[in-house]
Amino acid sequence: ARSNSVWPVTFGLACCAVEMMHASAPRYDMDRLGTFFRPSPRQSDAMIVAGTLTNKMAPALRRVYDQIPDPKWVISMGSCANGGGYYHFSYAVVRGCDQVVPVDVYIPGCPPTAEAVVYGLFMLQKKIKRNPFKPFDPESTPHYQLPEELRTREQL
């Protein structure tokens, strides 16, 4: 039952979020798959990171991830979330959200199509069916460290 009712938290950062919304619109209707986007991380069991993750947004992403109850899953959507995309060499962009949170499914494309989002959800459902009680491993992804020039005095 857990795999057929994935409730992701809405975490759209850039243009990929429009495709994520398109996948939940009437044409593809992710509601029929049991997927309902939740506004609160405490009500969800998955997170779709859609778009360019910057150094400034990385601590907020980690905070939202930590608020999701266990077991939790993450889908990385788009080239920017997967590895930095076109902005890979920018000083302000994290080179993949897997440096901040552990990722279960990667959806390629810039921007990925709504069909790819639905297929990525199917892959996540398949993964959940194999192991519905994903054990929590705090060492799987260490907490993201901001560059020293962006840290406040309290964080140093």
Please give the Cα distance from 145 to 48 (Å, whole number). 21
pTM of this structure:
0.80
Q: What are the residues whose beta carbons fall under 8 Å from the beta carbon of 153, sequence distance 6 or more?
A: none
118 CB-near residues (< 8 Å, 6+ apart): 23, 28, 30, 33
Please give the span between the terminal C-alpha atoms of the chain, in angstroms, as a whole number.
Answer: 45
Q: Are 44 and 8 in contact (CB under 8 A)?
A: yes
- Picking from 43, 27, 21, 60, the residue whose alpha carbon sits closest to that of residue 144 is 60
How many Cβ atoms from other residues are within 10 Å of residue 38's Cβ?
Answer: 16
* Per-residue confidence in pLDDT tens, the chain, 156 aa: 666 778 888 778 888 888 888 888 888 888 888 888 888 888 888 898 988 888 888 888 888 888 888 888 899 998 888 888 787 788 888 888 888 888 888 988 888 888 888 888 888 888 888 876 665 555 555 555 555 665 555 544
Distance between CA atoms of residues 145 and 141, nearest Å: 11
